Amino acid sequence: MLSAIYHVFGITFFFAVYLPGVQPDARLEAELAAARAPVMGDNGYQALPKDWPQERWPQDVVPLCPRETDDCLAWAREHLDAYRAVAVSLQKRDEPLETLLAYAYFRPPTVEDYATEKSPSFRLLVEAVSLNAYRFAAGETEAAQHGACRGALLGLRLVRSQGIFLGSIGGAGLVERNIALLAQMRAELPPETPWPALCDELQPLPQEALALCPLMYSDWLEFRHIMRHDDAAIIADRQRDIAEKALYFILMRQAEAQYLYENTKYCAPAMLAAVRRDEVLQPTLDKWPRYCSPLNPLCRMGRPDSRFYQARLLNINRYLRAFAALRNPAAPLPQGYRREDGKLYFLRHPRFNHEKETWQVVALPLPGSRINKFSR
């Protein structure tokens, strides 16, 4: 009698854990893959650096400009003597970045290339922001402006590529930081000074190109590769019995299926309509996760919230519109932008979940507004 009770309990437990199933929906994966825009031209994904530079940036000697710093040129001037001592070696880091301009987009060519261990390093692109600030402060104004335009343009191409998730989000940061740096540079130059030719390509994107939806396919593939790595470790673990392994695979496949489903919510018509309006929405939460068993807490906790990534993408056009206003002072300003006290003011979406403001004010100096402060 007792064995029969255990048997019934075991069957009940199995179905309580197993339901509603374990396999991710192939139809949803296909929909995510199809959401990406077609790309044309040469793919430079394999040309992106896969490792950090052999010679690391000498942070202890020449500090990098922190992301939260409002004025990287002021930061560079504080450490200019240290930079001059190593300037020649640091400027060699420009060469691999210049070659990337030959490529139209950067997208992993195969599904396997989305594995996190194969992801490229964007460190050179990030460090180039500081390098160009130092170069401008040292008097290399033309090279520094070219480098900043190149950094913003490569960031924009990373975004348009809709390749790996962090590549596009990092690209958004490159657009933002390099445009801010260019504004600081141009504030110290006469307004009639010609702009680098590369800057001509820095134009606002169609609003729908900034939707997070196409990137959720990359996010899903990267998550799945991590899960497969964990699967292999569980299979090879001799300390776990068959029942433990079976339970693991049931629970993790449900979490995987739910993760995929949550990612598709960023492609819902309401979400895409919000992007066209330059708004950030939170996807609708289900009362109960569709692919999670009642006995699978990991599945219920594993729902991604990517709202602030969407905000960073939307900020791209806000910075690009500001950049266009800096280059064309006679053109009418877009709605929400204003010139006052030698600065161009506009609003951006908060970029991190710890930032509680509804909007953040950005102030970029106008061309020529700092000539008296920093004469050349």
DSSP string for 72-123? HHHHHHHTHHHHHHHHHHHHTTHHHHHHGGG-SB---SSGGGGSGGGPPP-H
Positive or negative, the CA dihedral 128, 116, 27, 296 is negative
**Judgement on whether residues 171 and 221 belong to the same structural domain of the protein:** no
**Judgement on whether residues 230 and 203 belong to the same structural domain of the protein:** no
Number of domains the chain contains: 2
Q: Is the pLDDT of residue 52 over 70?
A: no
Report the interhelical angle of 215-236 vs 165-187 (nearest 10°).
130
Domain assignment of residue 281, given as a range: 214-305
Local confidence band at 200 (pLDDT 50, 70, 90 cut-offs): very high
**Judgement on whether residues 162 and 218 belong to the same structural domain of the protein:** no
- The continuous run of DSSP H or E covering 203 comes out as none
With a pLDDT cut of 90, the percent of the chain lying above it is 59
Report yes or no on 75 lying in a domain.
yes
Local confidence band at 70 (pLDDT 50, 70, 90 cut-offs): confident
Q: Are strands 338-340 and 343-348 parallel, antiparallel or unpaired?
A: antiparallel
**Judgement on whether residues 67 and 175 belong to the same structural domain of the protein:** yes
**Judgement on whether residues 190 and 277 belong to the same structural domain of the protein:** no
Q: Which of 177, 209, 241 is the last residue of a domain?
A: 209
Of the two residues 330 and 16, the one the predictor is more confident about is 330
> Quick one: which of 292, 133, 147, 266 has its CA closest to 208?
266
Average pLDDT of every residue of the chain: 87
What pLDDT score does 366 carry?
Answer: 97
What pLDDT score does 253 carry?
Answer: 87
Report yes or no on 146 lying in a domain.
yes
What pLDDT score does 2 carry?
Answer: 41
What pLDDT score does 290 carry?
Answer: 83
* Separation CA 366–CA 146 (nearest Å): 19
Beta bridge partners of 344: 339, 364
Residue tagged 């708004």 (tokens) = 279
Q: Is the pLDDT of residue 374 over 80?
A: no
Q: Which of 253, 278, 305 is the last residue of a domain?
A: 305
Is there a cis peptide before residue 66, judged by omega within 30 degrees of 0? no
Residue 237's contacts (CB-CB under 8 Å, 6 or more residues apart) are: 245
Nearest 5°: the CA angle 180, 182, 185 is: 115
Report yes or no on 137 lying in a domain.
yes
**Judgement on whether residues 205 and 219 belong to the same structural domain of the protein:** no
Report yes or no on 126 lying in a domain.
yes
Report yes or no on 252 lying in a domain.
yes
Q: What is the pLDDT of residues 236-294, one digit of tens each?
A: 878 888 888 888 888 888 889 999 999 999 999 999 999 999 999 988 878 788 888 88
329: left (phi over 0), alpha (psi -120 to 50) or beta: alpha
Q: Which of 271, 305, 339 is the last residue of a domain?
A: 305
CB 187 within 8 A of CB 369: yes
Of the two residues 304 and 209, the one the predictor is more confident about is 209
| Mean local confidence (pLDDT), 341-366 | 86
Report yes or no on 58 lying in a domain.
yes
| Mean local confidence (pLDDT), 64-83 | 91
Report yes or no on 26 lying in a domain.
no
CB 261 within 8 A of CB 28: yes
**Judgement on whether residues 71 and 164 belong to the same structural domain of the protein:** yes
**Judgement on whether residues 186 and 257 belong to the same structural domain of the protein:** no
Q: Supply 192's token pair.
A: 């009639």
Start-to-end C-alpha separation, the chain: 94
What pLDDT score does 176 carry?
Answer: 97
Residue 198's contacts (CB-CB under 8 Å, 6 or more residues apart) are: 101, 146, 149, 150, 153
> Quick one: which of 257, 161, 143 has its CA closest to 209?
161
Nearest 5°: the CA angle 275, 308, 159 is: 65
DSSP H helical segments within 92-238, as ranges? 94-99, 123-137, 141-161, 165-187, 215-236
**Judgement on whether residues 190 and 95 belong to the same structural domain of the protein:** yes
**Judgement on whether residues 63 and 163 belong to the same structural domain of the protein:** yes
Q: Is the pLDDT of residue 14 over 70?
A: no
Report yes or no on 28 lying in a domain.
no
Residue 278's contacts (CB-CB under 8 Å, 6 or more residues apart) are: 207, 314, 317, 318
**Judgement on whether residues 65 and 139 belong to the same structural domain of the protein:** yes
**Judgement on whether residues 240 and 177 belong to the same structural domain of the protein:** no
What pLDDT score does 64 carry?
Answer: 92
